[in-house]
Structure 1
Amino acid sequence: MIVYVRRIAMTKDENMNSDMHSMNMDMSSMDHGQMDDEMDMGGGHMMHMGNFKQKFWLSLIVAIPIFILSPFMGIQLPFQFTFTGSDWLVLILASFLFFYGGQPFLSGAKGELQEKSPAMMTLISMGISVAYIYSLYAFIANHFINPNGHVMDFFWELASLIVIMLLGHWIEMNAVMNAGNAMEKMAALLPGMVHVVDADGHTKDVALHDLTEGQTVLVQAGEKIPADGDVVKGSSSVNESLVTGEAKAITKENGDQVIGGSVNGNGTISVKVTGTGENGYLAQVMKLVSEAQQEQSKAEGIADKVSKALFYAALSVGIVAFFVWLAISGPTTALERMVTVLVIACPHALGVAIPLVVARSTSIAATNGLLIRDRHAIETAKRVDTVLMDKTGTLTEGVFKVNEVQAVQNGLSDQQVLQIFASLETGSSHPLATGILTAAKEQDVKLSDAQSVQTVQGVGLNGEVDGTAYSIVTADYLEKQQLEFDRAKFEALAAQGNSVSYLISDQKVLGLIAQGDQIKPEAKAFIAALNGMNIQPVMLTGDNEPAAKQVASQLGNITVKANLKPEDKEKIVRQYQDDGHQVMMVGDGINDAPSLARANIGVAIGAGTDVAIDSADVILVKSNPKDILNFLNLARATNRKMNQNLWWGAGYNIIAIPLAAGVLAGIGIILSPAVGALIMSLSTIIVAINAMTLKMRAPTGNVGV
């Protein structure tokens, strides 16, 4: 099994629900552009953010004249000048900038306030709104109410805040949004048009959303199967790997079930539809992914928590300052003090504190084979205490080798048993089948043509070789059918880490083949490193329990969950979470998409299905477990930098806000807007330099290095 990579941070939650309730619509017709415009900008909800890159560059062009023509917190800088009517130009440009460049933040603040959870968007919106409205008041006062007086405006601060915030959010999105959308990839597995066979046997093409249960569809060679159903005519091999994650071509004939989204092979089959819309397998997977993603999207980042605290602090201090100064010096001074507090509280440094670290972190990660799709995974990683992972492909090589072939019936040799096994497995790409065919080739076994081969889900397969019907089955099947076999032999082989398959005919066991997978050289050190980090490793496998425990005994201290079906994984993730654990899930295939999305962090190793990759937070390009440790170590280092930058970005407010409010005015200390802006600029420079010093520490121990 090859393994892959939040949850999708950039998915439209609202559309997911409606999509699931209208699944009879053509799922391939989802509006890609509409989805791309929905960005998760913190605060735990999705909102329309638009194109930050475009907004940033246009806003920067508009802001430059404002920087040149408008004073900086009341101070005329050396490069600035004015001319007759320049203040009107500044007003027009600032108004455009407020409504155009500030629109994403105003929209974001509306969403946060609707959810009663003010955070970064609300704090920014408060700052730019106060700066713009007060500056508008200052302009009117200076031109129409009292032309001889001078009320200080904040147009310069308005422009700088909007430009810096747009830059910060563009940097952050550019660092993490280089992949597609899992829901779109799932929808793309289904064709837009299908060939429906009418009662007279004629076919006509209809849109997928018009397909109903009970209809018969014709699926030609190489086409995608449009819906779940039963084969009623023809035979073909069907590749279900994109749907189930199992890499095998399965022969389908009359009466066999097929899954919508799988790919037909060389034959042509007629399928009677049994499941469309919400009833289909793919739709159920999409529903689980959607539910898990919506639950995960409620997570609140540390920057949002700090912003929320700053919002309440600045608003409270500003209001108190207004009334205090109103009693001391009158409305003009009171209003100026309140506005100064609210503008100084604007998170210039805080707005780039996290994005700059994320950009640096994702850049380092990419050069080390880690693709981080969701920055929340970095923040969550420090709390992970459980890692669930597939055995095959993650901890083992995924290459099965035949360790023993044994005939148990007189009249058959070991080589004949191998010959029948290999004949039945011809055409399959399943790892177990590949191991059998490799062994047959090495021994120059001449294969026979197998007829009527079909897969029996959860059991094995049936077929005919030289006119005799055979089945390949598991030990569990033999026990359920109460067929006699050497139980002690099975336990001995399983205890050695083998997967054991049996050949039967006419309800009699004819022989067996035992195959083993090899532990990856770095796997044992990887498990030891996880335990050293106080993280519980859990191995998930569909193998029998003795074989799974034998592998575990080679790995060291690891919990084993054996005899699992694909759908069991999401339940196990949920169980661990319900017990209070923070879970990282490593999985592959569409069947793993729900568990990847459900986990606190979903991880994909190597090249897997696009859906699995898009359902996870982190993609590990290589298949080396060391990269999981690299991610955890990088995440911890990144979190340290985030915390440092948050203190630099927000810490100055702890001092600046009270001083701006005038708490020390009695002893002659009061923070002027100009000094406050200078400190603000300095903190922005510090967080930028600090972010650039982030490095990735190599994992301790020799883990595949």
Structure 2
Amino acid sequence: MNPNNHEMHHTHHDEHSHMHEMNHQQMTGMEHSMHMGNFKQKFWLSFVLAIPIIVLSPMMGLELPFQFSFPGSEWVVLILATILFFYGGQPFLSGAKMELKQKNPAMMTLISLGITVSYLYSVYSFVATHFFHQHVMDFFWELASLIVIMLLGHWIEMNAVSNASNALQKLAELLPDEVTKLHADGHEERLSLQAVYEKDILIVRAGDKMPTDGVILKGQSIVDESAVTGESKGVKKAIGDRVIGGSVNGDGTIQIQVTGTGKTGYLAKVMEMVRKAQAEKSHLEALSDKVAKWLFYVALTVGLIAFIIWLSFTDLPTALERMVTVFIIACPHALGLAIPLVVARATSIAAKSGLLLKNRNALENAHDIEMIFLDKTGTLTQGTFAVTGVEVMDTTYSSETMLKYIGALEASANHPIATGIMNYLKEKQITPYTAQDEQNISGVGLSGSIEGKTVKIINQKELQRIGQTIDTHLLQPYQEQGNTISFLIIDDQLIGFIALGDTIKPEAQQFIAQLQQRGIEPVMLTGDNEEAAKNVAHYLNMTTYYANLLPDDKERIVSDWTKKDKRLMMVGDGINDAPSLARATIGVAIGAGTDVAIDSADVVLTNSNPEDILHFLNLAQATRKKMIQNLWWGAGYNILAIPLAAGVLAPFGFLLSPAVGAILMSLSTIVVALNAMTLTLKKGL
């Protein structure tokens, strides 16, 4: 037995059991806090706690018409505010802790500064008023309103955008839990995938998933690797060929020898690439976080300067009150709602337009996209290898009769073209003739005797060799799309041809042209051969393409361009696209693709129509414009109010009272909310 078996077993098990943990490590401040308790529940409970505080305590020293108090009401306010601070404020405090640990203060730190200062200063005010009979203004009202508004903003945003990515979990689920192992004495045993080691021999029956990477020892089959490599054509596999864990076996039973499990398997490598790419992409900062970081430093600096200056002219309580007022006024009520409201509005518009937004920053990061990398199979093409046309040249035969002859020869053949043709006949309900003396002519095609006639199916090279000519106009549309063409010869007479391929989506040509009009360079990525890729690129008028790619090639290409500071979008649908979707500035998954691709992406096209990408770009442009307007409205209030609260105009007899500051703050919040609601998407491309 392999001495490393125990270790390999351990790593394979680890990979499955630590999925959740790996996801967890990728979350940045705000995302992390979102997973700490149910925001909806937190908001409603905090709202209930805040109502008595708002009714019983003045707004920055200003008595509002609906407010009242009773003997001992300030004790009620203190107790409720303490519960609210620790319960409702917890996500922000946890988020701030993470931001500060990463030396990157942003929205969470700014909110925490406001709520912590207002709570601690209010407790100090309570103690000073009740036990030392000094009148110090409290900020309980601000504490309550700030926590409730911020929780509302985060709840709106969470509601709009699903954040958790299960891409790694989905990859693990592609492999079967149990496998059939063949022992040396010939008996079979069902056991858990975790108990499989390299060199073991496994039996994979028709229709089963390949449990691991391996080499075929016995049998042959056509394997569907579309989910794993994106290859639309079924791949013919025989003894000595390699198979990939997660691909689906066709109609043949095979025996494989395991070459890779756990950390060494193909899927594990893809998983690792996705994890790394997701972790590295998290540095893309949200607009609101950039503004919040800037405001945090400004508030901290201005507050401390104000404290020192006021202290040198007046007493400690006045200087302290000025500093606290600056910190609290800097707190982003409007800013906290500015972006979530726009995101929520944009997300609902997107959903109606066939776009599912999975990452809150997708719309912000989509501006100035310079390149779009498009996976060919399933994105620009339909993603299935099927009959694209049947052309008859000898009119004594109908297309149905021609198909009966073709079907007779292809019925027993074991390759993707035969599978595509037989599926087509089944669909058309055509029963083929029966063939005798079938022979496979190496590198040419098939021959046999049908209905007393000598029948051959040959490729174009052989057609030219035997001196048969054919109208090029007839072949051109199929050749342009990179189709495989097979010619039917009966008694040395050319009867017609059948074309098979992965058809280009009808809207693809217009989509590429419109990208080019916008100054965005489309680049095609494909695992297909050079010839097929060149034909499709030429047909779609694309100048740049990469062929013969493996998943890590795709991820490497995307990564290389990202390192050159190119803002790029990746569009794909298969597992092989997952690492590059996670790596790109914006990853877009085609809705008809695999769950893994969908989970690695920032945006999902639910209608699988590439033209929806243009709608997304339009929406992103409109959304970013709205966000910037809202950030100016939100931060504009702070830019004005912070120096006034600090007392820059005090020498001229003007000092911004906290109450007026609070009214201005409420107004900027209302303006921001109304502005967000006016976002619309112009459908014109």
Aligned-partner SS, 2:411: helix
**CA 1:598–1:433 in 2, change beyond 3 Å: closer, same or farther?**
farther
User: 1:298 is aligned with what amino acid?
Assistant: H
In 2, are the aligned partners of 1:450 and 1:463 still within 8 Å (CA)?
A: no
User: Is 1:618 matched with 2:603?
Assistant: yes
Aligned-partner SS, 1:274: strand
Q: Which residue of 2 aligns with 1:673?
A: 658
Q: Which residue of 2 aligns with 1:121?
A: 108
Q: Which residue of 2 aligns with 1:642?
A: 627
**CA 1:245–1:523 in 2, change beyond 3 Å: closer, same or farther?**
closer
Q: Which residue of 2 aligns with 1:110?
A: 97
Name the CA distance, whole Å, in 2 between partners of 1:230 and 1:519.
Answer: 34
User: Is 1:86 matched with 2:85?
Assistant: no
Q: Which residue of 2 aligns with 1:372?
A: 357
CA drift at 1:532? 2.0
Name the CA distance, whole Å, in 2 between partners of 1:151 and 1:272.
Answer: 79
TM-score, with length taken from structure 2: 0.84
Deviation string 1:529-580 (CA, Å, 9 cap, x unpaired) is 2122111122334555555445444444653334445553223322332333
In 2, are the aligned partners of 1:69 and 1:90 still within 8 Å (CA)?
A: yes
Percent of aligned pairs sharing the same letter: 57
In 1, are the aligned partners of 2:303 and 2:327 still within 8 Å (CA)?
A: yes
1:361-400 → structure 2 map (5 Å cutoff): 361-396=346-381, 400=387
CA drift at 1:284? 0.8
Name the CA distance, whole Å, in 1 between partners of 2:74 and 2:443.
Answer: 81
CA drift at 1:390? 3.1
CA drift at 1:77? 2.0
In 2, are the aligned partners of 1:606 and 1:619 still within 8 Å (CA)?
A: yes
Name the CA distance, whole Å, in 2 between partners of 1:642 and 1:187.
Answer: 38
Of 128, 137, 144, 1:141 maps to 128
**CA 1:238–1:448 in 2, change beyond 3 Å: closer, same or farther?**
farther
Deviation string 1:72-131 (CA, Å, 9 cap, x unpaired) is 112222222222322222212111111111111111111111111111111111111111
User: 1:84 is aligned with what amino acid?
Assistant: P
**CA 1:31–1:611 in 2, change beyond 3 Å: closer, same or farther?**
closer
User: Is 1:422 matched with 2:407?
Assistant: no
User: 1:438 is aligned with what amino acid?
Assistant: Y
**CA 1:463–1:143 in 2, change beyond 3 Å: closer, same or farther?**
farther
Q: Which residue of 2 aligns with 1:71?
A: 58
Q: Which stretch shifts more, 67-76 or 575-584?
A: 575-584
Q: Which stretch shifts more, 589-598 or 75-84?
A: 75-84
User: Is 1:532 matched with 2:517?
Assistant: yes
Aligned-partner SS, 2:70: coil
**CA 1:313–1:180 in 2, change beyond 3 Å: closer, same or farther?**
closer
User: Is 1:589 matched with 2:577?
Assistant: no
Of 3, 8, 13, 1:25 maps to 13
CA drift at 1:391? 3.6
User: Which runs of no fewer than 5 residues in structure 1 stay unpaired?
Assistant: 1-19, 407-412, 454-458, 479-483, 504-509, 701-705
Q: Which residue of 2 aligns with 1:339?
A: 324
Of 438, 446, 451, 2:424 maps to 438
Name the CA distance, whole Å, in 2 between partners of 1:74 and 1:108.
Answer: 30
1:117-266 → structure 2 map (5 Å cutoff): 117-144=104-131, 146-147=132-133, 149-177=134-162, 181-219=166-204, 223-233=208-218, 238-247=223-232, 254-264=239-249
Deviation string 1:389-443 (CA, Å, 9 cap, x unpaired) is 134444445565246799xxxxxx9989945773366795x8x953685389699
Name the CA distance, whole Å, in 2 between partners of 1:261 and 1:540.
Answer: 22
Deviation string 1:358-416 (CA, Å, 9 cap, x unpaired) is 0000000001111111121111111201112134444445565246799xxxxxx9989
Aligned-partner SS, 1:624: coil
CA-based RMSD: 4.2
In 1, are the aligned partners of 2:221 and 2:250 still within 8 Å (CA)?
A: yes
TM-score, with length taken from structure 1: 0.81
Aligned-partner SS, 1:311: helix
Name the CA distance, whole Å, in 2 between partners of 1:534 and 1:556.
Answer: 14
Deviation string 1:151-189 (CA, Å, 9 cap, x unpaired) is 111111111111111111111111110775111111111
Aligned-partner SS, 1:24: helix
Aligned-partner SS, 1:73: coil
In 2, are the aligned partners of 1:43 and 1:304 still within 8 Å (CA)?
A: no
CA drift at 1:263? 3.6
In 1, are the aligned partners of 2:356 and 2:603 still within 8 Å (CA)?
A: yes
1:223-372 → structure 2 map (5 Å cutoff): 223-233=208-218, 238-247=223-232, 254-264=239-249, 269-372=254-357
Q: Which residue of 1 aligns with 2:545?
A: 560
In 2, are the aligned partners of 1:27 and 1:190 still within 8 Å (CA)?
A: no
Name the CA distance, whole Å, in 1 between partners of 2:371 and 2:387.
Answer: 28
Q: Which residue of 1 aligns with 2:593?
A: 608
**CA 1:610–1:421 in 2, change beyond 3 Å: closer, same or farther?**
farther
Deviation string 1:505-529 (CA, Å, 9 cap, x unpaired) is xxxxx99965466554433332232
User: 1:296 is aligned with what amino acid?
Assistant: K
Q: Which stretch shifts more, 593-602 or 215-224?
A: 215-224
